[in-house]
Amino acid sequence: MLQPMVESVLDALLRDRHSTVQQTREYRLATAEGAIASPLEAFSDAHPELSIGIYPSTTEFRREVTVRLRYPPDARAQAEEFERLIEELRASLKRT
């Protein structure tokens, strides 16, 4: 998961004036990073044009991750597919 984060930073630093602005969607899930890493990594492998970041945090009584998706405007269908994946993950987390 480090690679997309590094690529995102490099893209921001090296972006030329003619590059496309990235869209961003952000989701919070009440779980540990490891519980969702595999499906997100599989999605990322299938859609290399997208950038997915997982940012864990913990509070005294709760684990939570923020999942951030960055995508070009022409990848809206893939972003919608990602949103469905997030909803499936949320549903599976509620069952456990």
Share of the chain above pLDDT 70, in %: 76
The per-residue pLDDT for 19 is 56
Residue 51 one-letter amino acid: S
> How does the average pLDDT of the chain come out, rounded?
85
The per-residue pLDDT for 20 is 67
Q: In the predicted model, is pLDDT for residue 16 greater than 60?
A: no
Q: In the predicted model, is pLDDT for residue 14 greater than 90?
A: no
Asked if the 2-14+21-95 domain carries CATH number 3.30.70, the reply is: yes
**CA nearest neighbour of 93 among 61, 51, 64, 60:** 64
Per domain, the residue ranges of the chain are 2-14+21-95
CA gap 46, 72 in Å, rounded: 16
Residue 49 one-letter amino acid: E
**CA nearest neighbour of 28 among 73, 59, 74:** 59
24-47 mean pLDDT: 94
pTM of the model: 0.75
Helix (H) / strand (E) containing 65: strand 63-71
